[in-house]
């Protein structure tokens, strides 16, 4: 005869005994700490906000679906604002961190480049964002941007160097070009040629997912 948590499981049929044991163990199981979901925030511009797409079809929502399909307990937080520059992202960083994410994907800089803003300013803003996140022990994945090839060699060299330099200096995860495989592909973009359509978002997510997994592995470790 067994007595567990005050419940007596005596000489009964095996099926009844099984349920008796489960009932006896429930209080102990309930007392175990719950496994918390990881909170992963995507800080970015219209590429994150899902410009021109139906609700629930942007990058954060697609990433959420893909991670869930892979068995990951992750809540993806959408912190995308259309038209945002690196300065805008920095200005709203503290407010965006209200949900206390453990990891952040940064997708900023495209609007700085399209407006021809100085690469030095974009670098300083991104540096400040990454520094604040790391001071809070938040893991970071920096998604890079690339200047159009008609911007001139000096601008291209200065802008394109921002992202790998920051990633190396801060020892953070790095994905070289957020629009890899999608930029300049008409079938994967909206009519404006700048923003990915639903198929483009799916392709972006598929390509960046290994980098996201490495980011989450840093938390696991």
Answer for the pair 177, 145: CB distance below 8 angstroms, yes or no. yes
46 is catalytic: yes
Q: Could you report the per-residue pLDDT of 80-91, keeping only the tens digit for each?
A: 999 999 999 999
Residue with tokens 């805008």: 88
Cα dihedral across residues 89, 91, 92, 97: positive or negative: positive
Cα dihedral across residues 71, 77, 81, 84: positive or negative: negative
From residue 67, alpha-carbon distances to 36, 51, 63, 88, 121 in Å are 15, 22, 6, 28, 34
170 is catalytic: no
Select which of 46, 66, 78, 96 is catalytic. Answer: 46
Residue 31 has pLDDT above 50, yes or no: no
From residue 46, alpha-carbon distances to 7, 187, 195, 207 in Å are 59, 19, 8, 19
Q: In a 3-state reduction of DSSP, which class is residue 71?
A: coil
Lowest mean pLDDT among 46-50, 56-60, 148-152: 148-152
Query: CATH top-level class for 38-220?
Result: alpha beta
Give me the mean pLDDT over the 156-173 stretch.
Answer: 98
d(CA 117, CA 114): 8
Overall pTM surpassing 0.75 (yes/no) = yes
Strands (DSSP E) contained in 5-86 are 7-9, 38-44, 74-80
Select which of 45, 78, 112, 195 is catalytic. Answer: 195
Answer for the pair 151, 157: CB distance below 8 angstroms, yes or no. no
192 is catalytic: yes
* Tokens describing residue 45: 């511009």
Answer for the pair 80, 48: CB distance below 8 angstroms, yes or no. yes
> pLDDT > 90: what percent of the chain?
82
Select which of 69, 154, 191, 192 is catalytic. Answer: 192
| Between 25 and 215, residue with greater pLDDT | 215
d(CA 117, CA 201): 26
Answer for the pair 83, 200: CB distance below 8 angstroms, yes or no. no
User: For the chain, what are the domain ranges?
Assistant: 2-31, 38-220
């Amino acid at each position: 005869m067994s007595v567990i948590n005050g419940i007596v499981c005596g000489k009964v049929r095996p099926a009844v005994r099984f349920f008796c044991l489960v009932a006896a163990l429930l209080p102990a199981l309930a007392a175990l700490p719950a496994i918390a979901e990881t909170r992963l925030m995507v800080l970015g511009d219209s590429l994150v906000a899902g410009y021109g797409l139906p609700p629930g079809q942007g990058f954060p929502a697609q990433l959420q679906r893909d991670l869930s399909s892979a068995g990951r307990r992750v809540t993806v937080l959408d912190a995308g604002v259309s038209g945002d520059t690196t300065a805008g992202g920095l200005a709203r960083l503290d407010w965006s961190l209200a949900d206390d994410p453990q990891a952040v994907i940064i997708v900023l800089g495209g609007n700085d480049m399209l407006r021809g803003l100085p690469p030095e300013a974009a670098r300083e803003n991104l540096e400040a964002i990454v520094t604040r996140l790391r001071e809070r022990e938040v893991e970071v994945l920096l998604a890079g941007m690339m200047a159009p090839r008609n911007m001139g060699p000096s601008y291209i060299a200065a802008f394109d160097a921002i992202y790998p330099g920051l990633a190396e200096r801060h020892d953070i995860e790095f994905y070289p070009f957020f629009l890899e495989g999608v930029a300049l592909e008409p079938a994967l973009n909206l009519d404006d040629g700048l923003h990915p359509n639903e198929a483009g978002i799916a392709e972006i997510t598929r390509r960046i997912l290994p980098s996201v997994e490495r980011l989450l592995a840093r938390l696991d470790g």
